[in-house]
Amino acid sequence: MSFSVNKLAPELVAPAEPTPSGRLPLSFMDRNVTVRLIIDLILVFEQGVQPAKAIRAALSRVLVPYYPVAGRIVEPIPGEAEVDCTGDGVWFVEASVDCSLEDVNNLERPLLLPRKDLIPYAPPDVIEGDVALLVQVTEFRCGGFAVGIRFNHAVFDGVGAAQFLKAVADVARGHARPVVEPVWCREAIPSPPKMSQRHAASSPAAFHFQTSVFEISSDRINAAKNQFLRETGQKCSTFDVVTAMLWQCRTRAISLDPHADLDLGFAANTRHLLRGLLPEEGFYGNCVYPMGIKANAGTIAASSLVEVILLIRDAKDSLSAKFSECMMGGSAENPYAVPPGYGTMAVSDWSRVGFSEVNYGWGEPIHVVPLTDDNNLVASCIYLSPPKPKQGVRLMTRCVEMEHLPAFSEELMKFAADLA
């Protein structure tokens, strides 16, 4: 059965009051070519009362303290992007659909409504890469609603985007201002000496990654933590366990040559390493450093889970030293460069970023839907909170091609069974 989504034309929501003009610098992390992209996601809510009207009004008020978000990204000098505080506003789309959330399985995967119907697009004459944010509110017949978000990674990292969305929710719930006051402060982050921009001469190969959703229960995660504690006398995190398990399961499933190189990447939040330069809260720009772990396929496939967890913990422990080295210009290679190839995988933990805590007044989202279906260059996995009342971690994977999907699913199931 097909349903019809009725989208109104996109409109600009401008700040509710006059805001400062002028240009603001972006930090070297914001300007990095790897974050010059738009991130799409959907927050799904069970109920609301005229949510589009409430969110639109709150958005206008929040754009006063967050006035750079109402501006446009400009690049007067190549590689030196900045934000022009024009006060133009954020593109906003109202939509409605002739079905209930239940009719479309609460927008669980696979999506039963087209992605293009659920996320906002600017008018054809607008360059979306110059815009900081686009928002769409789609109201369902049952009273539920979905908020489609497209944010420009050059202006926000994940923590920053969630902070902005929570600020809009604060005002929608009746607060006069956001609970956490925003801070721009990009100029406080020192720029390291120019990094090497070397990369492969040819374009990286595109793969045909399959989108899959898996859930790892808290019981399984805790069993692995206890095993790690018994064998090492140390504690490890949920991220450590899930990342080690995922890396090992994928490695075994894709059956690369044992001597083949593997690269595992994850973005580490560096706000705590910039204390004294940045305030304790409120900063919403990019503040992450890419950590990478290299190993060969045979080692990861044959190691115990505890041994793989130790590799991940060692990498995390080296963050401070590596970040300092990068900032001082001591790193010969660009840490933001991603090695091409099927042996590379990047993981991103959204479970604690804050997207699942956005509450416009009718409760938190029943789930968060990342839309990464157009990523076919690097195998990836996003960690999410599972829908309540489930406990554990939901994995949104795009990390294997169809031929390896059965083996990958089997390895994940085996992990769950081994720790039962």
Q: How many helices (H) and strands (E) does the chain have?
A: 10, 16
pLDDT at 332: 60
Shared-domain flag, residues 274 and 400:
yes
- Please name every residue paired with 25 in a beta bridge, in sequence order, or none if there are none: 82
Q: Of 189, 165, 187, 172, give the one whose Cα is nearest residue 66.
A: 165
pLDDT at 201: 42
Whether 194 is in a domain gets the answer: no
Shared-domain flag, residues 380 and 282:
yes
Shared-domain flag, residues 322 and 264:
yes
Look at residues 158, 188, 218 and tell me which one is the last residue of a structural domain: 188
**CATH number, residue 317:** 3.30.559.10
Whether 196 is in a domain gets the answer: no
pLDDT at 203: 60
pLDDT at 418: 65
Whether 350 is in a domain gets the answer: yes
Q: How many domains does the chain have?
A: 2
Shared-domain flag, residues 20 and 143:
yes
- Give Cα separations from 228 to 225, 234, 306, 328, 413 (angstroms): 5, 7, 6, 35, 20
Domain region containing 238: 209-418
Whether 173 is in a domain gets the answer: yes
Tens digit of each residue's pLDDT (9 = 90 or more) over 59-114: 999 999 999 999 999 999 888 899 999 999 999 999 999 999 999 999 999 999 99
Shared-domain flag, residues 276 and 147:
no
Stretches where the chain sits below pLDDT 50 are 197-201
pLDDT at 78: 85
pLDDT at 36: 81
pLDDT at 339: 84
pLDDT at 88: 97
Whether 177 is in a domain gets the answer: yes
Shared-domain flag, residues 13 and 157:
yes
pLDDT at 419: 58
Whether 53 is in a domain gets the answer: yes
Shared-domain flag, residues 99 and 235:
no
Q: Give the whole-angstrom CA distance, residue 292 versus residue 12.
A: 40
Residues 6+ apart with CB under 8 A from 314: none
pLDDT at 98: 94
pLDDT at 375: 82
Shared-domain flag, residues 281 and 162:
no
Q: Give the whole-angstrom CA distance, residue 32 versus residue 9.
A: 33
Shared-domain flag, residues 250 and 178:
no
pLDDT at 331: 66
